[in-house]
Structure formats: C-alpha cells, structure tokens
Copies of this chain bind each other. A is one copy, B any other.
Amino acid sequence: MEKVPGPVLESLAKGQDKYVERLNEFLKMPSISTLPAHSGDIRKAAKWLLHEAELLGFKGALYETKGHPVMYAELCPHKDAPTILIYGHYDVQPPDPVDQWCYPPFTPTVHDGCIFARGATDDKGQLLTFFNAIESILAAEGRLPLNVKLVMEGEEEVGSPNFGAFVESHKELLKADIIALSDGEKYRKDMPSICYGLRGLLYMQIDIQGPAYDVHSGLHGGSVMNPALALTWILSKLKDSNGKVLIPGFYDSARDVEPWERKEMAGLPFDEKTEAAMLGVPGLVPEKGYTVLESTRARPTLDINGIWGGFQGEGSKTIIPAAAGAKVSMRLVPDQDPDEIARLFEKYVMSMVPAGVTVKVTKIVGNRALIVSRESPAVKAMASSIEYAFGVKPVFTRDGGSIGAVIAMQSGLGIDDILMLGWGDPDDALHSPNEHFSLENFRRGSLAAAALLYGLAKAKKPLAPAHMAKKEAVK
C-alpha cells in the first residue's frame, strides 16, 4: 500500500519533534472562549495559527465575527484538483477544577507518551495533525497534491454561535469538495473510527413567572401558585420512564435506525456494566425497544440540562419563589426539523400552564441531524488512509452529539462529503481535568492526514460549480 511518497514519510518522521514543539507552543495559550477575560488569549491564538499557516505558504486572514475571529487560510495551487476544507477550533474549555490537574493546564507536560494540557486533544493537537501533514508534504515534494483551505474558529466550545453567519457570508471563499475535521475520538483505543452521523440539537428554555417577588410561604402558601411546582408539572410530562418523549408529533418525522445499522451496532464491542461503572450510575436506561448504542447515537431523546428556582442554599428559607425555569434540550435524528419540533414543544408546554403563573418558552439553539454517505470516494479514501496509518480498518459509527459548525458548513456550502475523524482516545479526558493527547496518535493522525490528501488527490474530483449553484438556488 503505497499511500504516501517515501520522502514525505521521512519528512514526517524527522519533523515529529518540531511538531510536538509547535503543539507545545499552541497549548501554552489559554484560549478559553467561555471567559471574557481570555479574549486577548483567544486573539493571540488565532494570530499564531494564521502565522503558522503563512509559514507553510498559505495566504489568509483573521475574519471578524460578532464573537471571536475565524482564521481562514488557503493554498490552492491546482486548477483541476479537488479542494479540501479543513475545519478545526483553536478555543478550549475552561480548566476548572484546576486543583484536580496533575500538571498546570497551560504548562504542557509530556508524561508516559502523552502531552497533558487543556486543549491537547480538543482540538489543538488534532487540528495540528493537518499542519504536520501539509508541512511534511511541502518539505519533501514542494507542492500539495490538491487544494487545501483551512478554516479554524474560536467559538466551538461555546456552541459556534457566529460560525454559521460567517459561512453564510463567505460561501465563495469556502467553496470546496470535501470537508474534513478531526475533533473527536476513536470508537475504542484500538478501534479507529469514521463518524457518518450526528444527532441534531434543539435547545429550549422555559421560564415560569409567579409572584413579582419571592413571597413568604407561611403567609401565602395555599393561595399562590408555586412556579417551581408548576414547572415540575410541565417537565414531568416531557418524557416517560420508558425513555419515550411525550411531545405530540415528536417522532412523526424521525427516521428510525435501519435494520442493517442495528445489526452493525450490535456487532460493536460495548459493555453496559463498564459504561455504567464509568459514569457512576446504578444502571443504564436506554429507550424501550432499543439498545444503549442505538438510544444514544441513532434515536432522538430529551433531557433537562438545568433547572432552577428559589432557595438553593444550606438550611431552610420559607419562600414561594417568584420564578423558576429550566433548560431542556432534545437530540434529533435525520428528517426531524428543529423549527417544527420547537413549535410542537412550545405548543405542548403552553397547553399545560396552570392558573396563577405565566410561562415563556425560548429557543436557544436548533441544528438538524446529519447522515453522510459511507460510499463516496472521499470516505473510501479516508478509510484506507486510516488503515494505512493505524494498521487497522476503521469502524463506522454515528455520534450522539451535535457539531453546529459541521451542520453550518454542510447546509451553507452544500458539501455532502464530510469526513468526521477523531485521532483521540476515549479516555483523553476532554473537557475534564488532565486532558491529554497521545503523541503516538499525534504521529499516526498526521500520517493518516497526509495519506488522505494523496488519496483524495487520486480521486481527482474537481470542484462542481453547477452542484453548488443548484444548492444555492434551492435555498
């Protein structure tokens, strides 16, 4: 399997120390998007990334948004080669609780073959594998085998609130044949995977207003509708103990898991007891009629993400709270329309409002689910590149989460070939203390990325402007 030219392989091997040093430099920047105090660090990280791309010969700029800037850079030497758009994010989660880290979160430390730092696996270490691949190819061959566009945002960890608008207003700039990103993890440490599906997300907020201020539960208890109680009456009827969502019409357009997928999922190694122990729960409670893997990756569901109202301190405070509220989100599957589900949700909630309170329902985020064809030349090239770099064929999985940026690019750019990769391991502790990334995965990921660029170039699929135009026309 001659995937990558020999000189590139040599260059990759020789460059590893330098690549680790570049990652080290990147990880020192506390580019925490959720904390306003770090907006300077965020900008510094974006500039640094642009500079690194420019050092490779890319041309680009920082694009301002309502939030943090998007770094875009391109190196497109070919007229009739395919173009790959590589997505990543340079922002990271906050490091809290800092006292649980073995090493300071922004002092990258290599231990036992892994580099420990916030952002190591999510997503700085993974996005740099593409830089490594590009640098090695350019160093060895002087030229990329296809056109490469890099788009890296600074708000993925806060839900990419401005990325969709950026995509919408830069469709020409971002035009490409294939999107690739590595911002996830293998199915298992020894089982690299390609993700071909994401669940959608509909995130709602319910606010219930009772009295104008907290009132004394002795003086008014028995005559004032308690907004927290009213809230529980509503929330308790959103999902039943079989895991079925009770919103009328919720499942009407949901595409069910197909028999071949159920069979395939059943073949993936999965141990409920281990999973329950890892999560610290007495047991798992999948949707009735479905396995845990099906329930979490290919079935829609509903969760209360937060609930509040009244007194939350130690001891007692005898009040009827003025207000109560909750964040409720739904994971959607293909063919469910977030706007339509939001309407059904609001209608259902409003039908349950008791006398004595007022209720407001707000939509916070809505993203469709995504399914990518597993048969495209791009996916095949990807699968073979992974096998080449990791020594084992990848498994195909659907992911239960939602990546807003991917949905934005798919719908905004009309690109259906999306390669959702993950060089990380499931125990990389992303979003948690002691986040780390294996340097072996860093190396193999870079190799897989290089192989992918050659693989895609072979497919020689050019840009398809007609296809793009059609997509834009039907918008």
- For window 211-230 of A, CB contacts with B under 8 Å fall at 211-213, 215-226, 228-229
> Cβ of A113: which chain B residues have Cβ within 8 Å of it?
none
> Cβ of A222: which chain B residues have Cβ within 8 Å of it?
243, 286-287, 290, 292, 295-296, 299, 301, 331, 400
A interface residues (Cβ-Cβ under 8 A, vs B): 158-159, 199, 201, 203, 210-213, 215-226, 228-229, 231-233, 235-239, 241, 243, 275, 279-287, 290, 292, 295-296, 299, 301-313, 315-321, 324, 326-327, 329, 331, 354-358, 364-365, 399-402, 431-432
> Cβ of A226: which chain B residues have Cβ within 8 Å of it?
303-304
In the docked arrangement, what's the CA distance between A326 and B307, Å?
Answer: 10
Write the nearest CB–CB distance from A467 to chain B, whole angstroms. 30
Write the nearest CB–CB distance from A401 to chain B, whole angstroms. 3
Q: A222-B292, A231-B232 are in contact. List 5 more A-B contacts (CB 8 A).
A: A222-B299, A222-B301, A226-B303, A307-B308, A316-B327
Write the nearest CB–CB distance from A357 to chain B, whole angstroms. 7
Contact B306 A158 (CB under 8 A): no
Contact B315 A280 (CB under 8 A): no
The chain B residue sitting closest to A237, CB to CB, is: B236
In the docked arrangement, what's the CA distance between A215 and B296, Å?
Answer: 13
The chain B residue sitting closest to A240, CB to CB, is: B233
Contact A401 B218 (CB under 8 A): yes
Contact A305 B311 (CB under 8 A): yes
Contact A324 B307 (CB under 8 A): yes
With contacts A218-B199, A219-B401, A316-B159 taken as known, whether A239 is within 8 angstroms of B229 at the C-beta atoms is yes
Q: Which of B283, B307, B399 has a CB less than 8 Å from the CB of A309?
A: B307
Contact B303 A320 (CB under 8 A): yes
Q: Which of B235, B305, B313 has a CB less than 8 Å from the CB of A320?
A: B305
| Pairs A–B under 8 Å by Cβ, sample size 28 | A201-B318, A203-B316, A211-B281, A217-B305, A220-B279, A221-B301, A221-B303, A222-B286, A222-B287, A222-B295, A222-B296, A222-B301, A224-B279, A225-B285, A228-B305, A229-B235, A232-B236, A232-B307, A233-B236, A236-B237, A241-B355, A283-B356, A305-B321, A306-B309, A307-B308, A307-B324, A308-B312, A315-B364
> Cβ of A213: which chain B residues have Cβ within 8 Å of it?
280, 432
The chain B residue sitting closest to A402, CB to CB, is: B218
CB-based closest 8 A-B pairs: A212-B280, A218-B401, A306-B311, A222-B295, A306-B310, A236-B236, A228-B304, A222-B301
